[in-house]
């Protein structure tokens, strides 16, 4: 492993970096695993609250889990309240307070989050993920580490891949320290910000890629993608809008009679490969932080 990041209050954490991941000979295999595993957790009926996935909602879910895992009744600043959730999600820049309000309300309505009274202050309600949300979070976590395990199978990422609840809690508590690095990674990929923030746009384009959409000789038509709309909880018009924006940004071109065929450009492949590599690098960072946290807990228990 190469030296990866300096984490405030912790120091240097060694982990795989994006350049190392991109240069790995098995990166194409890891990319396919990344797409297939994330498609499973972002599908309609699987993604929480019966919404389509976007960076704002995914970030909100992750932070709910992280803040609950770090809850300390004696430290008011660490209480997992709606106000604190909004402040933290705002740092990522993908969700407005209004979106968070409606999403959290839907999470409560659909049984993914419970509002519980703070014992020391009955005016305060805490956001508590239910086992339903925690189970999805373990699947989402495992999706990241399935791709990393392709690249680094020894010793691998066993606790995350096994969906171990104790590791999940350590990972959630530790990930908070990496938020600044994660935000920097996401916003360093400015070309794809629209596709991160638009509902299901990222996974739809990744699915098109896995269908062979980057091959200029492919014969994929827009009609062939209609199946992706209900799969990822979006309308056909929304899907067409995603393709239109991709074409405007030189991520997609059309060819053939009446421009019937669509192809993803090498420019798209390079941009999204950088994003995937960055995501995997941050996952490796949070994994190392979680292992460090567990080791510290074990030492303190002796």
Q: Please determine, for residue 175, whether its predicted confidence score (pLDDT) is greater than 90.
A: yes
- Mean of the per-residue pLDDT values of the chain: 93
What pLDDT, on a 0 to 100 scale, did the predictor assign at position 240?
95
Report if residue 98 sits inside a domain: yes
Q: Per the domain annotation, does 155 fall within a domain?
A: yes
% of the chain at pLDDT higher than 70: 97
pLDDT of residue 143: 96
Look at residue 210 and tell me if it is in a domain.
no
Average pLDDT of the segment spanning 221-245? 95
* Mean predicted confidence (pLDDT) in 270-295: 94
- Asked if the structure places residue 298 within a domain, the reply is no
Q: If phi over 0 gives left and psi between -120 and 50 gives alpha, with beta otherwise, what is residue 261?
A: beta
Single pTM value for the model: 0.93
Contact 200, 53 (CB under 8 A): yes
292-296, long-range: CB < 8 A, 24+ apart: 292/10, 292/13, 292/174, 293/170, 293/173, 293/174, 294/166, 294/167, 294/170
Q: Which two tokens stand for residue 79?
A: 């209480």
**Residue 160: inside a domain, yes or no?**
yes
Q: Look at the chain and report how many structural domains it folds into.
A: 1
> Is 103 within a domain?
yes
Q: Which domain holds residue 102?
A: 16-173+285-291
Of the candidate ranges 36-45, 229-238, 262-271, 291-300, the one whose mean pLDDT is the lowest: 291-300
Q: How many CB atoms lie within 10 A of CB 119?
A: 9
Does residue 126 fall inside a structural domain?
Answer: yes
pLDDT for the residue 1: 46
pLDDT at 120: 78
Residue range 296-302: average pLDDT? 81
pLDDT, residue 216, reads 87
Specify the CATH number for the domain of residue 57: 1.10.10
Q: Is residue 190 part of a domain?
A: no
């Amino acid at each position: 492993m190469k030296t990866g990041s300096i984490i405030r209050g912790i120091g240097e954490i060694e982990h795989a970096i994006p350049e190392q991941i991109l240069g790995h000979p098995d990166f194409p295999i890891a990319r396919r695993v990344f797409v297939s595993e994330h498609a499973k957790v972002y599908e309609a009926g699987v993604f929480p609250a019966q919404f389509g996935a976007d960076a704002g909602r995914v970030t909100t879910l992750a932070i709910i889990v992280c803040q609950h895992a770090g809850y300390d009744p004696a430290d008011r600043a660490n209480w997992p309240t709606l106000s604190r959730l909004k402040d933290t999600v705002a740092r990522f820049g993908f969700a407005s307070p209004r979106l968070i309000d409606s999403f959290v309300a839907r999470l409560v309505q659909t049984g993914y989050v419970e509002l519980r009274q703070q014992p020391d202050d009955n005016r305060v309600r805490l956001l508590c993920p239910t086992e339903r949300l925690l189970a999805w979070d373990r699947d989402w976590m495992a999706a990241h580490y399935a791709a990393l395990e392709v690249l680094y199978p020894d010793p691998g990422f066993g606790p995350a891949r096994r969906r171990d609840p104790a590791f999940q809690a350590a990972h959630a508590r530790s990930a908070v320290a990496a938020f600044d690095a994660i935000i920097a990674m996401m916003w360093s990929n400015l070309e794809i910000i629209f596709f991160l923030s638009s509902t299901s746009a990222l996974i739809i384009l990744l699915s098109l890629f896995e269908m062979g959409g980057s091959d200029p000789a492919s014969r994929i038509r827009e009609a062939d993608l209609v199946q992706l709309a209900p799969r990822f909880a979006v309308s056909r018009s929304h899907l067409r809008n995603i393709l239109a924006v991709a074409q405007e940004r030189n991520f997609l071109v059309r060819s053939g009679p009446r421009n019937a065929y669509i192809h993803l450009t090498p420019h798209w492949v390079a941009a999204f490969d950088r994003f995937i590599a960055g995501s995997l690098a941050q996952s490796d960072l949070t994994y190392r932080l979680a292992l460090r946290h567990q080791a510290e807990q074990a030492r303190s228990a002796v």
